[in-house]
Structure formats: structure tokens, C-alpha cells
Amino acid sequence: MSLTLTGRRAAACAFTAALLVPLAACASDDGRKGTGGSTATASGSPSGAPAANLTVLAAASLTDVFKTAGAAYEKSHPGTKLTFSFAGSQELVAQVSQGSPADVLVTADTKSMDKARADTGAPAVIAENRLVIATGEGNPHGIDDLKDLADTKLKVVLAAPEVPAGKYSEQILDKQKITVKPVSQEPNVRAVLGKVELGEADAGLVYRTDAESAKDKVDAVEIPHGQNAVAQYPAATLKESKNAGAAAAFVAWLSSPEGQKILQDAGFQKP
């Protein structure tokens, strides 16, 4: 019986080819299975990118903008579903090294991405960011610049030194020879923002985009460019991804005009 069905299928394929009707394959009546168990249609999305379920490991400071970007990408790429996992970049790199199943990695600094290079494709910087001083709404303590953070009467929180935001904070404070004794050092920049939002801290160093996302709860004191640090966000596919084509398409889209507009509307800067 299996030989008969195979013969019929081969004949059907030959007949269709003779009519010059382009089909993705005659091997399945319902589409094809993507690698890793993801179901993809024969034609993929209208953009030409293969459809797949993608897991994206992304820096915590991308939480809000990637939710917006993900919705836009899924709309323009029917059949693709994006699942995001947000954390500090150092934690994401650890997850990758431990073999956590994922397709794309996006960190908040190039050094973290460099540590994962054995597990990624070539990274592309998709955005830049800068730090600001986040204070309570209305800036009740009248913080004007970095020097004010040295006031021991203030409760200041920073990201931990191993976190990109923590490294940038150390860098700019050391450059200005300012000593700050934080009441806590948080595992990611969103945790720093949360402390300020809740009034558990008087000030904290966060990315400009983080402060913008909570502008109804915190104020942002700008840090002059000459005293600031530039945070770069590289994105790369993971070599162990079972959806390599779809992962590469998403990474490329982040640098496209549509992806860049979403990032820049959220306050990120063009790389």
C-alpha cells in the first residue's frame, strides 16, 4: 500500500511541474514542519521570512519597546510568534552558555555579547542609549547633576557592577571622580527604576528610555554628553537555534526602517 501511495504522489508532483505551477513541495498536504517542531506554512510570511515560534533573550531595558516591536513584527509576519525573556545581559549570557533553548540574543553592551560569541552568529548593533539620573516625581531633593549623588543623606541605587548599566554607571562616576555609596546594587536596570518608582530610593542611574517609560512616576535629570557613556545594543542569532532563517530575519528587521522607527520612538538612538 505504501508503494502505491508513493507512486501516486510522485505522479502528482510530476504533473504539477509539467503545468509549471510553482509549489513549495509535494511532500505534504498541510504545509511543512519547521525545524525544532515549529510549524511553518509552505510560503512562509508575505515578507518571505519563514514562519516560526521564536524565543528572544533581551536586555531588561528593552522590555517595553520589544513588546511593541514584537506586536508589529507578528502583524507583518503572519505565522511567526515571538516570545521574549527579559533579564540583565549577564544573566542572559549565562543562560546561553548553559544551553537554554532560544533563537536570538540582544544585550545592552558589546562586552556581554562578546562573551557569548562562541554561541552566536555575527552581531549587529541595533540601537544606542545613554544614562540619566532618575528621581522621584518632581525631583523632591533637587538633584541637578552627578555630584549631588555623593550626598550621603540621599538613598541612591545603582545596577550591580556586572550588569551593563552598572558598568556604565561606574565608568561615568569614576570619570568625574565622584564617590557614591549606593544603598543597594540591583540585578538589572529595571530593578533600579522600580526602587525609585516606589520611593525606596531617592535617585538611581538608569537608561534614558527607562525613565521615559515611567515618566508619570519619575523625573529624569540629564547627564551632559561629555560626562555620559554610550550604551550599544548588539543583536545576534544563536547557533543552536532550530529556526535559523526566521531568527536571522527578525535580527535584520530590527535594523530595518520599521524596526528603527519603533526603537527611536521609544527614545533609543540610531547606532
Instruction: Based on the fold, state whether residues 99 and 56 are members of the same structural domain.
Output: yes
**One domain, residues 42 and 116:** yes
How far is the C-alpha of 64 from the C-alpha of 61, rounded, in Å?
A: 8
Q: How many domains does the chain have?
A: 2
Beta bridge partners of 238: 120
The CATH number of residue 134's host domain is 3.40.190.10
Whether residues 166 and 86 share a domain: the answer is no
Q: What is the pTM of this model?
A: 0.80
Please give the Cα distance from 268 to 233 (Å, whole number). Answer: 10
Residue 8 lies in a domain: no
Q: Provide the residue-wise pLDDT of the chain in tens; the chain has 271 residues.
A: 333 334 434 444 443 343 333 333 333 333 333 333 333 333 345 556 778 999 999 999 999 999 999 999 999 999 999 999 999 999 999 999 999 999 999 999 999 999 999 999 999 999 999 999 999 999 999 999 999 999 999 999 999 999 999 999 999 999 999 999 999 999 999 999 999 999 999 999 999 999 999 999 999 999 999 999 999 999 999 999 999 999 999 999 999 999 999 999 999 999 9
Judgement on whether residues 201 and 71 belong to the same structural domain of the protein: no
Question: 83: domain range?
Answer: 32-128+233-265
152 lies in some domain: yes
Could you tell me if residue 224 is inside a domain?
yes
Q: Name the burial class of residue 263, with classes exposed (0-12), middle (13-18) and buried (19+) by CB atoms within 10 angstroms of its CB.
A: buried
| One domain for residues 222 and 246 | no
- 202 shares its domain with 145: yes
Q: Check whether residue 147 and residue 162 sit in a common domain.
A: yes
Do 62 and 186 lie in one domain? The reply is no
Is residue 216 domain-shared with residue 93, that is, in the same domain?
Answer: no
